[in-house]
């Protein structure tokens, strides 16, 4: 009985109010031998809820009460997540539509763009903006600058005749 009180005290000062609520119901019902009717009235819960809490406590103790059992749907692609993570790291898709097509091709599972975006984020991928190539880049002028101006200055810097700063 003392261990129950100690466990309840430790959980009381942890994270979730819900755990405190469940444990206070169990403490009042078991330790202080309150009737089910008074516990139901005090905490404003249904008798079936009280019975399920007591049953969980009897079967698994405080640990069973701490488990939060809300419905959390899982993606159909969860089983393929490591495969797709490796594949998309090697061949990153340019768009979400491209990723959608590849996922459908490999698995046969058709998902919306939003679901694919969420899946890609869950495996650690981030949306990236595509960089632009300057339209007016003149490769001949760049090569001339490299050979006629930059390389001679770097040679002078190696000889100690010039100081070069890189930003």
Residuewise pLDDT in 10s, the chain (167 residues) = 445 554 554 444 444 556 667 777 777 676 666 677 777 777 787 888 878 888 888 888 877 777 767 777 888 888 888 888 899 889 888 889 999 999 999 889 899 999 999 999 988 888 877 777 777 778 888 899 999 999 999 999 899 898 888 76
Q: Give yes or no: residues 57 and 88 share one domain.
A: no
Q: Give yes or no: residues 61 and 94 share one domain.
A: no
Q: Give yes or no: residues 48 and 93 share one domain.
A: no
Q: Give yes or no: residues 18 and 60 share one domain.
A: yes
What pTM, to 2 d.p., does this model score?
A: 0.44
**Which range of residues forms the domain containing residue 107?**
78-122
Q: Give yes or no: residues 11 and 48 share one domain.
A: yes
- Whether 79 and 119 have beta carbons less than 8 Å apart is answered as no
Q: Give yes or no: residues 116 and 84 share one domain.
A: yes
Task: Count how many domains the chain has.
Answer: 2
């Amino acid at each position: 009985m003392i261990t129950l009180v100690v466990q309840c005290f430790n959980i009381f000062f942890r994270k979730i109010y819900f755990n405190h609520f469940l444990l206070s119901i169990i403490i009042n019902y078991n330790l202080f031998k309150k009737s089910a009717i008074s516990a139901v009235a005090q905490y404003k819960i249904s008798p079936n809820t009280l019975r399920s809490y007591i049953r969980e406590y009897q079967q698994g103790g405080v640990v069973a009460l701490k488990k939060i059992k809300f419905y959390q749907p899982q993606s159909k692609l969860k089983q393929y997540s490591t495969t797709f993570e490796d594949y998309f790291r090697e061949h990153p898709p340019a768009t979400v539509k491209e990723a959608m097509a590849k996922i459908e091709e490999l698995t046969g599972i058709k998902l919306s763009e939003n679901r694919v975006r969420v899946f890609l984020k869950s495996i650690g991928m981030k949306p990236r903006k595509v960089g632009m190539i300057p339209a007016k880049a003149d490769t001949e002028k760049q090569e001339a600058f490299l050979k006629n101006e930059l390389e001679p200055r770097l040679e002078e810097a190696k000889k100690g005749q010039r100081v070069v700063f890189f930003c």
